[in-house]
Structure 1
């Protein structure tokens, strides 16, 4: 199974897998019905302070990455989130959804890379394709 990234505004949406929104804020203009979510893990998004500081400025991305990784590692919701993903990856793809327009400089890119490393010793490599 694979861990994938998808912008929640993408059409057509990939509905073949476990869809989890990893933004702290609900994406504008998306209804809960049209989102086709299995889970909204808002605690895994960057804190409001960090998100506002970053403000989707690509020049701030390296520092944002450092700060966000520190938040992830200290996040009390992380163990449950890892367990959820490990369970889902055993049977299906997991699609991390985000709302940012920039598909390269956003928190979901950082979170996915972190998760691939964090789950590497818990999920067989054959089930954890990038």
Structure 2
């Protein structure tokens, strides 16, 4: 099993495997065809309130990650994503943010690694 992350605006590649968009909002300026998605799992994205509070401010990332992990603890979409991961050898979590180090896909990938048996 391999879980990677990638910006949805980057070109799809065969090594991406099954592509899952993990943003609550559809990314601007990209068509569903160009996104080349397996599934859009918007329910797994951070809540609107948390996303707006974070505002992609790197100085808030640590607290954002803590709050988002708490949301994931009670989110049924996590089980849905685990099922997707179990069905595919490689899964790529797609995100729209410009910052590759400070976004929800980073937190989600690490959360899954920490909470997988």
TM-score (norm 1): 0.84
TM-superposed deviation, 1:15: 3.6
Matched with 1:93 is 90
1:14 paired with 2:16, answer: no
TM-superposed deviation, 1:113: 0.4
Once the two structures are superposed, what CA deviation does each residue of 1:63-108 show, in whole Å capped at 9, x if it has no partner?
10110000001112222221221222xxx31000000000000000
Q: Relative to structure 1, is the Cα distance of residues 56 and 29 closer, same or farther in structure 2, using a 3 angstrom cutoff? A: same
Write the mapping of 1:67-82 to structure 2, written as runs, cut at 5 A.
67-82=67-82
Deviates more, 1:30-39 or 1:69-78: 69-78
- Which ranges of structure 2 fall in alignment gaps of 5 or more residues? none
Q: Relative to structure 1, is the Cα distance of residues 45 and 33 closer, same or farther in structure 2, using a 3 angstrom cutoff? A: same
CA distance in 1, matches of 2:78, 2:14: 25
1:64 paired with 2:61, answer: no
Contact 1:3 1:95 in 2 (8 A): yes
TM-score (norm 2): 0.93
Report the number of matched residues: 116
Contact 1:15 1:36 in 2 (8 A): no
CA distance in 2, matches of 1:62, 1:56: 11
User: Secondary structure of 1:104's match?
Assistant: coil
1:108 paired with 2:105, answer: yes
Q: Which structure has the bigger radius of gyration?
A: 1
What root-mean-square deviation, in Å, do the aligned CA atoms of Structure 1 and Structure 2 show? Answer: 1.1
- Which ranges of structure 1 fall in alignment gaps of 5 or more residues? 122-130
Once the two structures are superposed, what CA deviation does each residue of 1:34-85 show, in whole Å capped at 9, x if it has no partner?
1100011100000000000000000011110110000001112222221221
TM-superposed deviation, 1:118: 1.9
